[in-house]
Chains A and B, each alone.
Chain A
Amino acid sequence: MNMYKTKKTIVDSITHIILIAVAVTCIFPVFWMLSSSLKTQDQIFSKMTLLPETWNWSNYVTAFIKADFGQYFLNSVFYTVVGVFFVVLISSLAAYAFARLEFFGKNVLFYMLIATLLIPIPGVFVPLYLLLKSLGLLDSRLGLLLCYISNGLAFAIFLIKGFFDDLPKEIEEAALIDGCSRFGIYWRIALPLAKPALATIVIMNSLTIWNEFLLALVVLQDKAKMPIQRGLMVFQGTFITDYPLLMAGLTIATIPIVIVYLLMQKHIVKGIAAGALKG
């Protein structure tokens, strides 16, 4: 082995040691959560073992049935699925119009939309609360959903419009001559072609809605309507000393999003790159 090769091997080994050390610190807290969720209360307080002594699956049963976690979970699934569906539908319609159609005030409207992406709106939940209150939508599923949908729109329109802009116009023009309506072109031609952009929007908004907490905190009081992140805080207050149960709850809130992430990494990275470029 020559000098160059030896040096490269050493440098590569050091690189891997650093990377593995960081990777372990990324995974360990999550592993600790999983492991604790299968322990008994006694094991958590008295013995520090990496793996549970007996695998106590009953924590999950208790979390789902006694501690309302089944309800929180279903609520989150509902908010995420319905919210994402409407974000995709409404933003793709608007993006198609901004990319292809003529209408009143087109440019002004588009720049207004983009401007809201640049303005930091940290305190906007206060007027949002008042608005929902005056509309009679406070503490309602619809109120929370409308907030989620409108939150996702600006970025989605921006991204999908960029995609539509790059599509060749010829197919659409041919369809128009054949007598297809504008809506028909959007629905049958543009939308199916935009699948990669739509996939990115679906994934990004699923992550955002599933993980959202502040709006759910402000808008909802009724436990029966709470999404899982909000439910976790109620749960933590009620079962303050039952740590294995809390860890089971955290695991339930985490597993779906981790599965989605592992399956859809490519789209997530793409979405982040697109999101970063907008800034």
Chain B
Amino acid sequence: MKITPKEKFSNFCFILPALVLFLVFSLYPILRTFQLSVFEWNGIDKDMLFVGLKQYKHILFNNPAFWKSMWNAAYVTILSLTLQNGLALLLALLVSRNIRGENIYRTIFFLPPVLSGVVVGLIWKFVFDGNFGILNHFLANISFTQFQDFAWLSEIKTALSSVAVVHMWKGFGYGFIILLAGLQTIPTELYEAAEVDGADAWQQFKNITVPLLIPIFTIVSILTILGSMQIFDLIYSMTRGGPAGHTHVPITKIYEYMSNGEFGYSTAMAVIFGGVLLVVSFVQIYASKKLNYNNK
């Protein structure tokens, strides 16, 4: 059937609302970010001062607070990749052993990811409180009395790790659900055949589960990296970057500069940070392809 130009136009109307919103609220802001990053501008003045790459240079070489925030996000990310995903994998393996109550466990483990970052942050702020927090009370009960009045979120040594713990608490159920779905796609015949050949549980895990789970594991780790690097709600509701900037992460930094009216500077920071995220995910995808190939 031949399609007339008039029909083509009326077909085009189907995507018009989506297209307009996409152009105005996605594409334009992305392009505008690059444009703004080469100007010094406070968001109010008519005049924008073109400064080229000066702000990029300043962020990269003269802004230790930015690097500190990057390191903080990296710290949370590394902990999540290892501890959180390790726990998610362990739990997925345990639940996929055809045990009773699989659905109940699944429902409960996915409860924290459903809650909002602000709610989770404020609940845990309460748990970590020095004076009446349940954590110190619990520690005192199992005779760790030295933590009485210890304010976990106000101490430089413990603030970031405390937030990281909450972040992992909130996130492990997400990895668990995806890994469990991945485990359930592995055909049971493979394990049965291995059993007949006399392979023990560890050999089955090493030679069947791990190789077949690599694509899923890549997805989980990319989601973990992107999610942890972009942590914001928890930081904002628990510490707002404090004590003395020790829990700042890139997004809270970008937000802080924007609130101070340094629009050009904060967009330059956003570009650098976005670039880092993009590189990290491409490296991750490349590495997993390589790994996958070698196993075949």
Point out the residues of chain A lying under 8 angstroms from B33, CB to CB: 123-124, 126-127
Interchain CB contact (< 8 A) of B29 among A128, A213, A254 = A128
Interchain CB contact (< 8 A) of A30 among B95, B111, B226 = B111
Question: Contacts A109-B15, A122-B230, A272-B178: A116 and B26 contacting too (C-beta < 8 A)?
Answer: yes
A250 touches B123 (CB 8 A): yes
A124 touches B43 (CB 8 A): no
In the bound complex, how far is the Cα of B135 from the Cα of A217, in angstroms?
A: 30
A262 touches B123 (CB 8 A): no
A104 touches B173 (CB 8 A): no
A211 to chain B, nearest CB (A): 4
A19 touches B105 (CB 8 A): yes
Question: Contacts A103-B11, A279-B219: A120 and B281 contacting too (C-beta < 8 A)?
Answer: yes
Interface status of A25 (Cβ within 8 A of chain B): yes
In the bound complex, how far is the Cα of B197 from the Cα of A19, in angstroms?
A: 31
Partner-contacting stretch, out of A58-66, A147-155, A191-199: A147-155
A12 touches B99 (CB 8 A): yes
Interface centre among B7, B14, B99, B107 (most CB of A within 10 A): B14
Partner-contacting stretch, out of B63-71, B146-154, B202-210, B232-240: B232-240
Interface status of A102 (Cβ within 8 A of chain B): yes
Question: Contacts A102-B3, A127-B36, A211-B117: A150 and B270 contacting too (C-beta < 8 A)?
Answer: no
A129 touches B258 (CB 8 A): yes
Point out the residues of chain A lying under 8 angstroms from B232, CB to CB: 213-214
Interface status of B181 (Cβ within 8 A of chain A): yes
In the bound complex, how far is the Cα of B22 from the Cα of A93, in angstroms?
A: 14
A126 touches B270 (CB 8 A): yes
Interface of B, helix, strand, loop or mixed by DSSP:
helix
B26 touches A154 (CB 8 A): yes
Point out the residues of chain B lying under 8 angstroms from A93, CB to CB: 14-15, 17-18
A198 to chain B, nearest CB (A): 15
Interchain CB contact (< 8 A) of A276 among B29, B219, B267 = B219
Point out the residues of chain A lying under 8 angstroms from B115, CB to CB: 30, 211, 254, 257-258
In the bound complex, how far is the Cα of B122 from the Cα of A29, in angstroms?
A: 11
Give the total of A residues in contact with B, Cβ under 8 Å: 86
Interface status of A175 (Cβ within 8 A of chain B): no
B36 touches A120 (CB 8 A): no
Question: Which residue of B has the minimal Cβ distance to A129?
Answer: B258
Within 8 A of B (CB), among A9-34: 12, 15-16, 18-19, 22-23, 25-27, 29-30, 32-33
A182 touches B178 (CB 8 A): no
Give a binary string over A255-279; 1 marks a CB under 8 Å from any B CB, 0 the rest.
0011001100100110011001101
Within 8 A of A (CB), among B225-272: 226, 230, 232-233, 236-237, 250-251, 254-255, 258, 263, 266-267, 269-271
Question: Which residue of A has the minimal Cβ distance to B254?
Answer: A123
Question: Which residue of A has the minimal Cβ distance to B116?
Answer: A211
Question: Which residue of A has the minimal Cβ distance to B115?
Answer: A254
**19 A-B contacts (beta carbon < 8 Å):** A22-B87, A23-B108, A25-B169, A29-B123, A30-B115, A45-B131, A45-B132, A91-B18, A102-B7, A122-B230, A122-B254, A126-B263, A146-B25, A150-B24, A182-B11, A186-B14, A213-B116, A236-B237, A268-B110
Q: 20 more A-B contacts (CB under 8 A) besides A101-B14, A218-B255? A: A19-B105, A93-B14, A94-B15, A103-B8, A116-B26, A119-B30, A120-B230, A120-B277, A121-B274, A122-B270, A123-B270, A126-B267, A127-B32, A130-B32, A150-B22, A182-B11, A213-B117, A214-B233, A229-B119, A246-B122
